[in-house]
Chains A and B, each alone.
Chain A
Amino acid sequence: MKIKIIYDENQKLLKIPVLLKIPHKRIKSDFVLDTGSPHTILNYSDSIRLAVPHISKGEIVRIGGRRYQSYIFNKFEIVFKTEDNQLVNVILPVRVLKPSSLKMNEVEELDRFPNLLGLDFLEKGYKLFCDLKNKESFLEVRED
């Protein structure tokens, strides 16, 4: 089964539409596929929309010269759609980033940070096929 990846040619980003779910709540959103990120990151905006608690401290994450405290949330579900309209539900811990200070510009900068689908997702066994020239990119899911 294939999960279609949408190439945003303007921003030069690979995006995947998803539903994000925690117990009793869901939102529609999208991920940017980022093989440079070891972990999957839930952006600050979607963490607010889902009311994900910022309790369990994770690593300090450095991005572009700034340091952010990460918070790990385990009861997180990502729902993908395959090309033949099947749903693929993945349980994956996600990290939410918060600025180490509450300076308004740092908080607002995090508002604009995308959700990142990291290597921890690919480690679950999904194959990545990417042919930008021919506009064909997808994740392949093994049917069990």
Chain B
Amino acid sequence: MLSDLELLQSSERDLRWFNANSDMIREKFVGKIVAIKDGCVVESAGNINELLEVLKKKGIDQSEVLIEAISPANEITIL
């Protein structure tokens, strides 16, 4: 089991990978919710419940993935 520090370090690596590869990820997964682990998209689905179900079936620990929603290129988020 990863320590908190190890899990946080992997969270930071995956977030940086997501930011650096967002154009490529958007091309393949626009409109989806993706699970990222160790610098790759391990699963995707149309909503969070479907995604968690797929991760469970594949035996992927959902606590160790970074989950991001992929919006279209012409959509921006104003908070």
Q: Which chain A residues have a beta carbon within 8 Å of chain B's beta carbons?
A: 4, 6, 8-13, 15, 17-19, 25-30, 32, 34, 36-37, 44-46, 48-49, 64, 79-81, 85, 87, 107-108, 111-112, 114, 116
Contacts of A79 in B (CB 8 A): 4, 8
Q: Is B7 an interface residue (CB 8 A)?
A: yes
Cβ contact within 8 Å between B19 and A9: yes
Tell me, rounded to whole Å, the shortest Cβ–Cβ distance linking A129 to chain B. Answer: 18
B1-36 interface mask toward A, CB cutoff 8 Å, 1 = contact, 0 = none? 000110111111011100100110000000001000
- For window 40-78 of B, CB contacts with A under 8 Å fall at 46-49, 52, 62-67, 69, 71, 76-78
Tell me, rounded to whole Å, the shortest Cβ–Cβ distance linking B79 to chain A. Answer: 5
17 contacts between A and B (CB under 8 A): A8-B19, A9-B19, A10-B19, A11-B76, A13-B77, A28-B64, A28-B66, A29-B67, A30-B66, A32-B79, A36-B79, A45-B33, A79-B4, A81-B5, A111-B47, A111-B48, A116-B79
Tell me, rounded to whole Å, the shortest Cβ–Cβ distance linking A104 to chain B. Answer: 9
Cβ contact within 8 Å between B4 and A19: yes
Within the complex, which residue of A8, A29, A32, A112 is in contact with B11, where a contact is CB–CB below 8 Å? A29
* With known contacts A17-B12, A25-B63, A12–B79 Cβ distance under 8 A: no
Within the complex, which residue of A6, A10, A17, A36 is in contact with B8, where a contact is CB–CB below 8 Å? A17
Contacts of A80 in B (CB 8 A): 8
Tell me, rounded to whole Å, the shortest Cβ–Cβ distance linking B47 to chain A. Answer: 5
